[in-house]
Each structure stands twice: as structure tokens, then as C-alpha cells.
Structure 1
Amino acid sequence: MDSVAGERSVLVRACAEVGVSSADATLLSFGENAVFALPGPGLVARVARGAHMAERARREIAVACWLAEQDFPAVRPAAGIEAAPVLVDKRPVTFWELLPPAEREPNVADLARLLRTLHALPAPPFALPARHPLALVETWLDSAEAAVGLADRRYLSTRREELEAACRELTPALPAGLIHGDALLRNVGVHGGRALLLDWETVAHDLREFDLVLTPMAAARYGLPDGAQRRFARAYGFDVTEWAGYRVLRETRELAATAWVAQHVPGNPAAEEEFHHRVRTLRTGDTEARWHAF
């Protein structure tokens, strides 16, 4: 059974609306969006899971167009297609350039330099929201239905409230401003001779520390090479782990990453196992247990 049959159906209708072929569509990834390569027209299509992603999709396209004007190294919206999401049954579909094959694996120095450049840009000429990484926790848990037990749901919901309150009390070390919002190494690609920052759906105006906390979190949870966090801090020019608010932001992002897996749990034993593993580590305060990227 095709696990993304519904997303493929939405893709076919969106492609027909903009006049491109979906005949050779290949699934690249399936997370918050189903991401398809369309080699024929040389595009990538991102099909959102639901209507709740529509505003994010509109903002992502607007920011990507503005970044192109700034010559910032980021993925570009598809040329020749209106720079706006296509809505199919209220679900947004966006079209992007298909990048050439990656030249090498990105590293933390690539990410740090991209973030340093991004954080130095002027504010865009339109408002951006604050970054609320826990805003979709209930949505992700709802999508898991009965596959997530009541005790785990109550724990995650209570912890969400505690961390949201703690975040409101943080004193930043850096000036707030434009942030990527999901600055993980997986959102960097090296194409056409330079590193590019990808995936702009969580772009925001908020604490720069939100972008910086993910690398030390990934080093602990996903096993980045030894010294990755030191290299990242050196290339950016600031070590977020020495900031008093680091623990709160790391715990916030770890809770979000755990709840995010819940939407994949129904019918997926690997996701169920990983979800329960992550919840156990949060409950016990185990900050060193490795997680599996999902």
C-alpha cells in the first residue's frame, strides 16, 4: 500500500492546475509535508499534511522570494509558476526549483556560516510571527489518535505548558530578529558550488538562540561527529550552550521533536518504538540517550 496515496492524489491535482506533469513524481521525504521530485519539469513539490499549514506555506514562499532579492543562498520558488501555494481541498502545495545532485555532505560550519549571514540581514518588508515550536504539539498528538496512550499525552501536554511558561521568562543573549526556525543540518544542502539553506516553513522573528540550540541538541541526541558543537560555535561566533536559557530551549525543542514523531505512529512500529523511547528519556531526564532521526 502506498503510504502517501492521499498526498499523491493532491499532487496530481495541483500539478494539473499549474500545467506541469506529475507522471514521474518520486517521493523524497514525508514529514510535515510530502516532498516529491518532478524530474520532467525540473521541480520539487511540497504537499502539506493539512489545511492548518496554509499560512505557513504562504509565508514560506514570500520569504523565499525576498531572500532571492537579497541573494541569500537558499532554495528558490519554481520559475514560471505563480509564487503562491496552490490549494487542493484546502491543503497547500508549493513548487520549488529542483536542485542538482548534492556535491558533498554539509557540515556544521556550513550551517553556522549560513545562520550568521541570515541573522545579519535586514528585516523583511513584511511581518513575521514569533517562533512557537510547541504550537502543533496537540495537532501531532491528535493525528496519532489511539496510538498514543492517555498517560503519555497528558505528560507531553503538561510539559508543553511548563516549557511555554519558561520560554516567556527567558532573557536573550543576542538581539532578536529574523530566524530560520528549524536550523538543523538536514536543512542544508551543498549544490552548485555553495551551501544553501532549505525548508523555510518555520521562518520567524524571534530569539536567534532558537536557531543555535539545535546543533548542540543534535550532537547529543543524533550523534554528530566529535567536536561538532565547538566547530559550530566557533564558526558562528557565539556558544549558545553557555547561555543561561540553553536548557529551556533545548528541552522545548526536544519535546517538539518527540510530539512530531507521534503523527507517524499509527501503523508504523518503528515510529511507535521511537516515540516511546523519546518519551522515556524526557520523563527520566536522560539528556544523553541517543535518538534515531525520523
Structure 2
Amino acid sequence: MLASAGEQADGARLLALGENAVLALEPPGEEPVVVRIGRDASLRERAERELRVAAWLEEQQVPAVRAARPGVTVVDGHPLTFWRRLAEPVREAVPADLAGLLRRVHALPAPPFTLPPRDLLSGVERWLRLAGDAVPPADAAYLRARRDEFAAAAAELTPVLPPGPVHGDALPRNVHVGPYGPLLLDLETFADDLREHDLVVLALSRERYGLDEAAYADFVRAYGWDVREWPGCAVLRGARETAACAWAAQHVPGNPAAGREFARRVDSLRRADATVRWYAC
């Protein structure tokens, strides 16, 4: 596929594999680039929006990954976008790095193009269908019911922060700390919604995924507010937990470890036990 896009696939190095395949390339006679390859044609619109977001953040002088080429290239139905290769990181990103970048994003006005709302629960049905018979029907029905419950509750929330642009997947793994400081990665989930969405991600990481309390405290100090003080935090947390369970479900077929993790997550939700640690699938 890369060769038919006019690239030399030899020497391509896989950096990540998720909704996109992300590869590092060194085209002959050109600057090294990173190419993001979408799973299917349905992701083209999102890829185009990501490029618009990157250009807008550059105009707003927000440190973020920059596109190497304009526009989306489609090869065999897969949308491809090309990005400037970043310098090697000088250290691992920490929550306080993320907080500083979020403060800058949350100070921005709306961009001159439309951003979608941050619909945390839109993927639940697709992930459960991918899981199929590999997950118990009762668990799938339970997650669908939770999805509907939390979608309705989220629509009624009154925010503390003024709504506007959000990153949408605000985790330290989406920050790169290079020689010139931290910058944002993975702009595909940018949305126009409650700013609290970006802050609940780290609160959930603290409570479910083992983020150190001191690191979370650093995040709160750097941002200036702890979203756990907001009554709506529990609603957005519940929505994210529901989505995280359904996301794990898609990995269950053929993966016994994912099956055990899915069962752990669903059981902890059924028992309303917020102390159960969740692990990556």
C-alpha cells in the first residue's frame, strides 16, 4: 500500500497500531515523515479534520504535531496523512506537561470550522458487535443499558468551565517532550464540548489505572482546578468507564487475557466497586 502511494516501504518502522497504523518513513531525497494510515474509508473525514486542527493550532501558536503535507491521500480505501517527524524525546511526558497544554487549548475560542461533540459512547455498539459471541450477551446488554443511561445524564450536565475546544483523549501518552518542550499528539479526537471531558481522563487514570496520587496532584496544580470537585465528574467518569469496557470487548475474540480483563471491568461496574484496578488489554 505504501509503495502504491509513491513511498518506499523499505525501512518503514511501525510506531503504533490502533485505529490507525502509524509508521516512520524516510523517503529518498526527502525529509523523514510519519504516516498515519486509517483502517478504512470511513475515517477519511476524521483525518481531514485532524489536518485542519493541526493547521489551526499552529496559527494559535499551540505546541502540537504539524502536518508534513496538505490533504489526505487515499490508497486502496485507506486514508493516509503525513506528519513531520519529531525529534527524539528528551524525557517521558508527565501529567503536569499535559496540564500546561490543556490550559492553552482550553483558552482558545472556537476554530473557523466545525468540531464535533465529544461523544464518548459512540463506539460502544461497534465494539460490542466486533466482540460478537465472545462476550456474554448479558454483559453486552448491560453495557448498552449503561451507555443509554450515561448518554442521557451527560446531556443534562451543567459545566463549571466554559465549553469549547477539547483534545478529547487527554493522556500523557499523547504528549511528546522534545528539546523545545511538550507538544500535543493525536489530534483526531479534538471536539467542541465540555472542557471537563479533558480533565476527567486523568481523574479516571488515578482511580482505575494506577496513576500516582502525587502525579495527579501535580496535574491539578498545573491546571488550576480538580475536576473531582464537580458533581458532574461522576457522570463523565461513568460514561468513560462504559466506553472502556466496550473497547476491551472487541479484543476478546482470540485473546484470553482480554477476556479476563473485560470480565474484571464489567464485574466491578456491576458491583459499583471503584477500587478495582483496570489493566491495559
Using the size of structure 1 for normalisation, the TM-score is 0.89
State the AA in 2 paired with 1:117: R
For the pair 1:74 / 2:64, whether they are aligned, the reply is yes
Residue 215 of structure 2 corresponds to which residue in structure 1?
Answer: 228
How high is the sequence identity, in percent, across the aligned residues?
54
Distance 1:179 1:266, change over 3 A: same
For the pair 1:63 / 2:53, whether they are aligned, the reply is yes
Q: Is the contact between residue 67 and residue 84 of structure 2 (CA under 8 Å) also seen in structure 1? A: yes
Q: Determine helix, strand or coil for the equivalent of 1:37.
A: strand
Residues 253-281 of structure 1, C-alpha deviation per residue, up to 9 Å, x if partnerless? 11112211222222222222222221221
Residue 16 of structure 1 corresponds to which residue in structure 2?
Answer: 4
* Pairs within 5 Å for 1:45-194: 45-78=35-68, 81=69, 83-194=70-181
Q: Distance in 1 between matches of 2:172 and 2:111?
A: 24
Q: Distance in 2 between matches of 1:149 and 1:85?
A: 40
Structure 1 residue 193, shift from structure 2 partner: 2.4
State the AA in 1 paired with 2:49: R
Residue 269 of structure 2 corresponds to which residue in structure 1?
Answer: 282
For the pair 1:249 / 2:236, whether they are aligned, the reply is yes
Structure 1 residue 160, shift from structure 2 partner: 0.3
Q: Determine helix, strand or coil for the equivalent of 2:187.
A: coil
Q: Determine helix, strand or coil for the equivalent of 1:125.
A: coil
Residue 44 of structure 1 corresponds to which residue in structure 2?
Answer: 34
Residue 219 of structure 1 corresponds to which residue in structure 2?
Answer: 206
Q: Distance in 1 between matches of 2:243 and 2:215?
A: 23
State the AA in 1 paired with 2:46: R
Distance 1:200 1:280, change over 3 A: same
Structure 1 residue 252, shift from structure 2 partner: 0.8
Q: Determine helix, strand or coil for the equivalent of 2:58.
A: helix
Q: Distance in 2 between matches of 1:27 and 1:269?
A: 25
State the AA in 2 paired with 1:194: G
Structure 1 residue 93, shift from structure 2 partner: 2.1
Q: Distance in 1 between matches of 2:73 and 2:134?
A: 32
Q: Determine helix, strand or coil for the equivalent of 2:270.
A: helix
State the AA in 2 paired with 1:68: E
Residue 226 of structure 2 corresponds to which residue in structure 1?
Answer: 239
Q: Distance in 2 between matches of 1:49 and 1:284?
A: 36
Q: Is the contact between residue 4 and residue 75 of structure 2 (CA under 8 Å) also seen in structure 1? A: no
CA RMSD of aligned residues (A): 1.6
Gaps of at least 5 residues in structure 2 are: none
Distance 1:159 1:203, change over 3 A: same
Residue 184 of structure 2 corresponds to which residue in structure 1?
Answer: 197
Structure 1 residue 43, shift from structure 2 partner: 1.6
How many pairs were matched up? 278
State the AA in 1 paired with 2:249: A
